[in-house]
Structure 1
Amino acid sequence: MTLSVPKILRRAATATTTGMAGLAIAVFGLSGTAHAATGIHVSNGRILESNGNDFVMRGINHAHAWYPGRTGSSLAAIKAKGANTVRVVLSSGQRWTRTSASEVSSIISQCKSNRLICVLEAHDTTGYGEDGGAATLSQAVDYWTGIKSVLVGQENYVVINIGNEPYGNTNYTQWTSATQQAIARMRSAGFQHALMVDAPNWGQDWSGTMRANASAVFNADPARNTIFSIHMYGVYDTAAEVRSYLNAFVNARLPIVVGEFGNNHSDGNPDEDAIMATSQSLRLGYLGWSWSGNGGGVEYLDVVSGFNPNQLTAWGQRLIHGSNGIAATSRQATVYGGSGTAPNGYPYCQNGSATDPDGDGWGWENSRSCVVRSGPADR
């Protein structure tokens, strides 16, 4: 189909993201990893690889569910632009053709051959409660358990994004309990992967529901291995809103990524400069929407025109080559032989702060200087 994703995103008249800051900080608690992690995992609010290296997502979304024939060439081109991550749209079968286990296996193989970390998301949940055809998070879990055989063993390479934008603006207060239940079912089914959960309100959380309840959701995961994803479009049209939201999670030591964003949208003009600059300064991941194939009036969200990697759009030029863009800030995952270096080019200290007795953010290992994660030199 030609419409990439129905983004019926709205700003609430009476509730704003910035108004939730005090509540968010009050309810968040300090959380760590409860059990030994397998593969990509969360520790102290950071996303790490299995070897303990910090991993900051820099990537692009690709709509496999609507353009399955474009996936192979698109992943190769996304990697060639410098991305270290791709978020892939799948369908659980409620709204679009179900993405089969064999397809998912092939997608994972292609991610690995292109040295990309693969965020797989079930898109049919988009706008549940407001969009009558949307799937529930429970149905999304049914999908993941149905294809579990091709996901087990891929924890170093795959993050499972349980459901895209799982509530619209109707009954979104149900997001917390529904998300907790979905995570619990995934763990009971034996999934050890890092799980990603999207915000309600068409992913934008203008109500502050995810922000206020993220600690409770995180702590409900027995593996303490849940990553939160905010989608930033028209609700985030000022730098103050962007910074307030992302800093609330960082200050609470809860992992957050910008799972979707653009430089324009029908619901307002997102501040992409602030999104990218704030993500870079806080060392948070971002994933631009989307490679190509958008329709229904949001064609400007294409990174390239007509799936042609040589035809970057204005948005694509900004996302990839602009200030704080993918080309300048992306670092390949060390599981693929990446350097494990900080953005300033120094290697990370493998033993953490134990190498940094004076607390200045620098350490010394193997006869060379290194940067301590979360140290001043690594920001």
Structure 2
Amino acid sequence: MRLFTILFLFLITQNILSLNAQTARPAYNTGSGFFVSNGNIYDPNGVAFTPMGYNTSVFWNGNEACKLNNMSEHIPNSGANAVRIISQTEGAYGWNANPKSQRDLVERAVNAGIVPMLEMHNSTCDKADFETITEYWTSEQVIKIGNDFEKYLWVNIANEHNFESSEAWRDSYIATIKQFREKGIKNLIVIDAGKFCGQNPEMFTEFGKDVLEADPEKNVVFSIHLYGYWQTADKSFTDWTPPFSVEKDLSALKNAGLPIIVGEFGWDKPAGFAGNYQAEKILEVCKQNRIGWYFWAFFDGAEKPYYSILKEVCGGIENTNLTDAGKFIIPYVQKNAQKASVFN
């Protein structure tokens, strides 16, 4: 019995050491921030990092002052180690559709010890603003945000933009990433799936490695969003069955050797959500495969509790202000999310 206990403790220790072992930055990566290697994500110190957090600062809903306070106080207190900041290009609708507010949000996240991902929402689904977004990212003020926070900031080029084909998705992102690198943006880049509003993983399996290899920094993470096109095995369907399986297809993406994250998913309770899965199962599969994730959202309106952690944006993370999702996810991240070592 004693020998078994010693062996068990040895294996646990070895597992902890392997998770915290440092990986050298590849020679071709010339940045100072997060990087990918062999399908995994590493922080600037070379320690493996699995993001667990929320989409946040949603520009169309809620109180600006409260959302700024959430970024500085309630999100870090919730245990999250990462946030995806929902914004748009300058001049678009929303209080954070400008470099000043975007910089403020990124800086607040960094000061709170949370890894920020900044995204642009203008070209969601079939909106034809992809070129506008590229021009915005490569403008002087936004390049400076990327450069100043290169050590921490992830750049999510365009939210859920639909492309006419897998080849168009591949070619557009190869050209855009090349332009980013030529402009001196060395941050880790995140790109969304390019069909079904970010939900189709087939472009990743077909051409993900081509996009990754075409990046001079080879520093690209692929983000899949999970809503109505995804299912878990516990669900049954009659008129239509979602084509993608959380248990099979999400695991297959990781097993293909690609650096994968779940950029968005919602909760399946209470009734009204259009997803076709058990949300707890997503977290289970992600944990098994060391896939990071971002719940949609920290707050997206009290009328849709399956899209929010909080019932009210200004209420904080007190139990009385948490939705069903918040009551599950906050204890989960407090137990499982590891802060990036760069903040230690």
Smaller-chain TM-score bracket: 0.7 to 0.9
Residues 1:74 and 2:70 are matched in the alignment: yes
Name the counterpart of 1:367.
none
The Cα shift of 1:94 comes to: 6.9
Name the counterpart of 2:20.
none
The Cα shift of 1:270 comes to: 2.4
Residues 1:161 and 2:156 are matched in the alignment: yes
Name the counterpart of 2:309.
303
2:248 aligns to what SS in structure 1? helix
Residues 1:262 and 2:259 are matched in the alignment: no
2:55 aligns to what SS in structure 1? strand
The Cα shift of 1:60 comes to: 0.7
In structure 1, what residue type is equivalent to 2:307? Answer: L
Name the counterpart of 1:320.
330
Give 1:150-299 correspondences, 5 Å limit.
Answer: 150-167=145-162, 171-173=164-166, 174-200=168-194, 201-205=196-200, 208-239=202-233, 241-264=245-268, 266-294=273-301, 298-299=304-305
The Cα shift of 1:331 comes to: 0.7
8 Å CA contact 2:117, 2:156 repeated in 1: yes
TM-score by length of 1: 0.72
Task: Call closer, same or farther: CA 1:165–1:318 in 2, change over 3 Å.
Answer: same
Give 1:85-100 correspondences, 5 Å limit.
Answer: 85-93=82-90, 95-97=92-94, 99-100=97-98
2:262 aligns to what SS in structure 1? strand
8 Å CA contact 2:267, 2:273 repeated in 1: no
Runs of at least 4 residues of structure 1 off by over 4 A? Answer: none
8 Å CA contact 2:58, 2:299 repeated in 1: no
8 Å CA contact 1:126, 1:165 repeated in 2: yes
How far apart in 2 are the matches of 1:37 and 1:113?
21
In structure 2, what residue type is equivalent to 1:190? Answer: G
In structure 2, what residue type is equivalent to 1:313? Answer: T
How far apart in 2 are the matches of 1:144 and 1:65?
18
Name the counterpart of 2:118.
120
Task: Call closer, same or farther: CA 1:104–1:180 in 2, change over 3 Å.
Answer: same
Count of aligned positions: 294
Task: Call closer, same or farther: CA 1:266–1:300 in 2, change over 3 Å.
Answer: closer
Sequence identity percentage: 27
The Cα shift of 1:224 comes to: 0.3
How far apart in 2 are the matches of 1:302 and 1:226?
28
In structure 1, what residue type is equivalent to 2:288? Answer: S
Give 1:25-174 correspondences, 5 Å limit.
Answer: 34-66=28-60, 67=62, 68-75=64-71, 76-93=73-90, 95-97=92-94, 99-128=97-126, 131=127, 134-136=128-130, 138-146=131-139, 147-167=142-162, 171-173=164-166, 174=168
How far apart in 1 are the matches of 2:107 and 2:300?
23
1:179 aligns to what SS in structure 2? helix
- Structure 2, unmatched stretches of 5+, are 1-25, 234-243
The Cα shift of 1:79 comes to: 1.0
8 Å CA contact 2:225, 2:265 repeated in 1: yes
How far apart in 1 are the matches of 2:123 and 2:253?
24
How far apart in 1 are the matches of 2:90 and 2:161?
15
8 Å CA contact 2:33, 2:43 repeated in 1: yes
- Structure 1, unmatched stretches of 5+, are 1-31, 338-379
TM-score by length of 2: 0.79
2:122 aligns to what SS in structure 1? helix
Name the counterpart of 1:16.
none
How far apart in 1 are the matches of 2:44 and 2:264?
25
8 Å CA contact 1:39, 1:50 repeated in 2: yes
How far apart in 2 are the matches of 1:56 and 1:268?
24
8 Å CA contact 1:183, 1:221 repeated in 2: yes
Q: Which protein has the bigger helix share?
A: 2
How far apart in 1 are the matches of 2:198 and 2:105?
24
8 Å CA contact 2:35, 2:41 repeated in 1: yes
RMSD, aligned CA? 2.1
